[in-house]
Amino acid sequence: MIPKLPPARTARRAGPVAMLALLAALGPTLAQAEDAHRGGTLRLVSVSSQGTLDPHINYTSQFWQLYAFLYDGLVGFKKVGGTESKDIVPDLAAAMPVISNDGKTYTFTLRKGIKFADGSDMTATDVVASFQRIFKVLGPTAGTFYNGIVGADACLADPATCTLAGGVIGDEAAGTVTINLTAADPELLFKLSVPHAAILPSETPAKDNGNTPIPGTGAYVVKSYDANNSMVILRNPAFREWSKDAQPDGYVDQIVYTFGGTEEAAVNAILNGQADWMFDTPPADRLAELSTSAPGQIHLSPLSAWWYAPMNVNLPPFDNLKARQALNYAIDRDALVSVFGGPALAKPVCQVLPPEFPGHEDQCLYTLDPGTEWTAPDMDKALQLVEESGTKGQKVTVVTEDNAASRGIGTYLQSVLSDLGYEAAVQTISGDIQFTYIQNTNNKVQLSISQWYADYPAASNFLNVLFGCDSFHPGTDASINISGLCDKDIDAQMKAAIALGATDPVAADRDWAKIDRAVMEQSPALPLFTPQQVDLLSTRVGNYQFSSLHHWLIANAWVQ
């Protein structure tokens, strides 16, 4: 705190002059301090990659963490740690939009002079083409995030011919883009802040670009990507910082992301100074050791997230409600927390919405003493339901990722299914394809292990995205409603709650709590636990910042 000056006239007049002199003296020092941290290579490791590089298609926390500094939208979440990380700031737009027409029209003025990594100018044409492309590639959230845009219905019906006529209008001369909605959407700015709304060059092919990098406007650019080996990320030579809040310049010159190996090997590499960070959670048996041997290198952060096991409601045995409910009663969520690493890293959950999230009200249907919290499994009830369902003895395969946590949970579920009388097996798939594999109905996945991390702080981002009819796209790799639940009554309730949020968000959250219960009564998934983020860093890394939405802000860190 700066002490107040005495109330003398000369002191009051001298204050600003002195302050300017002080700032002038400090300015170069602060700049020099930042320059001193600039440069070097950050080395990241992961058991696997997460498939396609395409930001309009990929829907994984691993790659969204990278998209934060590779791509930009019209607006974005503030790139800082702490509570301000949920704030929305202008990004490619010069200011927040002008909202008119009773909340149905958003007009953005674009910044001038912004270029893509290939050197081409970013213009209103690119913005319009990018929104059309979201539908043309049938992005996972096209039907849930952007279906309120005028013309979206036609695009969802025939993606290849999508124009969004009257919905997204660019004016090159004025440098503006106007988005028209069919109804007010209080979540639109959230939806425009996620990577699925990234602005790409207008000539980007309207198909999954796979391993081929697409030029972005961010501070960095992908130089090369081999999903089975590594990714190399360099500074974007065309980038000039236009807003530190929206897209900071970044400190390191290069990021090398290596895929393969095990979590155990990753921990050892970080402790030996051969790597700087691991995406995967360290093995549970190493955490106690690390908490004493390297406490300064571990960062724990709360997440708005859950681990869950979607049950395919359209395939036996889980096309039977009683079979789904039986498994929910039978699992021991405390045991699952132990598999993940213990109560310091996870908390058992019985519902879709995570604790302290909009719309969350404590409720637990599937436990020994149903009420507001998890108590214990009810195996007697579970066995009774299996008998009543007539599904006993059927084959069930649990599809997991090839990492320690997912495999451990899959093995546990296999044992519970066996105890219930099913013929159970585990199928382990590489993490770079597991997420898309379990979404595609052609693969006939009965039960799988997955995770969901909040895209933005709204109940619809869990309930509507994961269990809404508009998220179910049979025969595609972009069907984020993995369970295949499409309950018309629940879907209507969700659409009503979204609309109500525009005028009465408190009442809408009360409705979302009821919807949360209604979804769990249908039991399309096994809620397992809500995790903590564990970041293990090398001693070279400084300026650690955690965003609830982007997680560790990689571009904000430096290396010695």
Contact present, 162 and 132 (Cβ < 8 Å): yes
CA angle 33, 38, 39 (to 5 degrees): 155
Tell me which residue of 91, 298, 336, 347 sits closest to 197, measured CA to CA. Answer: 91
Alpha-carbon distances of 211 from 52, 185, 228, 229, rounded to whole Å:
6, 34, 11, 12
Strands (E), 326-407: 346-348, 395-401
Residue 205: CB partners within 8 Å, gap ≥ 6?
Answer: none
CA angle 434, 403, 555 (to 5 degrees): 85
- Tokens representing 77 are 């979440």
**pTM for the full model?**
0.86
pLDDT given at position 391:
98
pLDDT given at position 33:
59
pLDDT given at position 560:
87
Contact present, 329 and 377 (Cβ < 8 Å): yes
Phi, psi of 431 (to 5 degrees): -60, -20
Give the Cβ contact number of residue 288 at 10 Å.
Answer: 12
Contact present, 44 and 279 (Cβ < 8 Å): yes
Residue 294 carries which side chain, given as an amino acid letter? A
How far the first Cα of the chain sits from its last, in Å, is 31
Weakly modelled stretches of the chain, pLDDT under 50: 1-24, 30
Place of tokens 């929910």: 328
Strands (E), 430-470: 447-448, 450-453
| Strands 41-46 and 277-278, bridge-based pairing | parallel
pLDDT given at position 29:
55
| Strands 423-429 and 395-401, bridge-based pairing | parallel
pLDDT given at position 341:
87
Rg (the chain; Cα; Å): 25
Alpha-carbon distances of 122 from 198, 212, 258, 322, 387, rounded to whole Å:
12, 20, 31, 54, 62
CA angle 494, 495, 497 (to 5 degrees): 65
Residue 283 carries which side chain, given as an amino acid letter? P
Q: Is 269 left (phi over 0), alpha (psi -120 to 50) or beta?
A: alpha
Residue 550: CB partners within 8 Å, gap ≥ 6?
Answer: 64, 65, 68, 77, 79, 85
* Rounded Cα gap, residues 447 and 435, in angstroms: 13
Residue 492: Cβ-neighbour burial (10 angstroms; 0-12, 13-18, 19+): exposed
Tell me the three state secondary structure of residue 45.
strand
pLDDT given at position 35:
75
Residue 216: Cβ-neighbour burial (10 angstroms; 0-12, 13-18, 19+): buried
* Rounded Cα gap, residues 221 and 119, in angstroms: 12
Residue 487: CB partners within 8 Å, gap ≥ 6?
Answer: 467, 469, 518, 522
Contact present, 315 and 494 (Cβ < 8 Å): no
Contact present, 549 and 88 (Cβ < 8 Å): no
* Rounded Cα gap, residues 206 and 341, in angstroms: 42
